[in-house]
Amino acid sequence: MNNAELIEKIKKIRCAIRYHRDQVEDDRCWLDDYLVWAELPDSPPPRNLTLQQKLLKCEIFYANRRADEPDPRSEQAILDPALWDRDLEKMSLIELAQTKATLLFVVGYHRDLEEVERRARTIKDDRDLYSIALPEKIPADFRLPPRDEFLGRAKSGAGCPNFWDSHEHCGRECNLYEWGPCK
């Protein structure tokens, strides 16, 4: 790969991680992990799970990846998105290759840690991913709606059960990153 190709790949990986970081409230979901992991050549798409398995993943997500307050902003935060990837402009081919390798390693670790460490993924794991992969040091907001809204049917058009119900009759072209039914 040449410099331009490496920069393009690094930006693509960072973009997926930024999307993951920037999801808020009801939009935060364990499915967002798969968008980041898709940057790895050996990552499968989300498995075909039963409704019960999907809802269990939602409960585990709520229990381990929810905070009461947003993360505080770092003094080192780069707020202007136009500056977020400026670090790449000054890198040599070797530095770009190392940056890409580091990104792929941390994304792979984020993906595989449940199997390796035999524990649920947590907010700390997401924070580690963001802090290693993203130069801008923008905080994430891990707050989620109240439990009965996120995991229940307390609010129409929201909540895990309602989301999965909306996809019940989707065909092969189902987009799990939007409310269904997908056409």
Q: How confident is the model over 49-88, as pLDDT tens digits?
A: 889 999 999 999 999 999 999 999 988 899 999 999 999 9
- Sign of the C-alpha dihedral, residues 66, 109, 42, 84? positive
Same domain, 134 and 157: no
Whole-prediction pTM:
0.93
Counting Cα atoms < 13 Å in the Cβ hemisphere of 40 gives 20
In one-letter notation, the amino acid at residue 25 is E
- What pLDDT score was predicted for residue 49? 86
Decide if pLDDT at 155 tops 90: no
Decide if pLDDT at 181 tops 80: no
Same domain, 118 and 172: no
Same domain, 87 and 162: no
Q: Looking at residues 97-108, what average pLDDT do you find?
A: 97
Q: Quick one: 5 exposed, middle or buried, by C-beta within 10 A (0-12, 13-18, 19+)?
A: exposed
Give the C-alpha separation, 30 to 58, whole Å.
Answer: 7
Decide if pLDDT at 180 tops 80: no
Give the C-alpha separation, 152 to 113, whole Å.
Answer: 28
Q: Quick one: 157 exposed, middle or buried, by C-beta within 10 A (0-12, 13-18, 19+)?
A: exposed
Q: Looking at residues 24-52, what average pLDDT do you find?
A: 90
Decide if pLDDT at 183 tops 60: no
Q: Looking at residues 20-25, what average pLDDT do you find?
A: 95
What is the per-residue burial (b if ≥16 Cβ within 10 Å, else e) of 132-154?
Answer: ebbbbebebebebbeeebbbeee
Contacts of 164 (CB under 8 A, 6+ apart): 51, 54, 55
Two tokens, residue 164: 């999965």
- What pLDDT score was predicted for residue 182? 64
Same domain, 127 and 153: no
The total domain count for the chain is 2
Same domain, 139 and 175: no
- What pLDDT score was predicted for residue 14? 98
Same domain, 114 and 153: no
Same domain, 155 and 125: no
Q: Looking at residues 124-138, what average pLDDT do you find?
A: 96
Same domain, 167 and 110: no
Same domain, 155 and 108: no
Q: Looking at residues 1-9, what average pLDDT do you find?
A: 95
| Parent domain of 161 | 147-183
Same domain, 38 and 91: yes
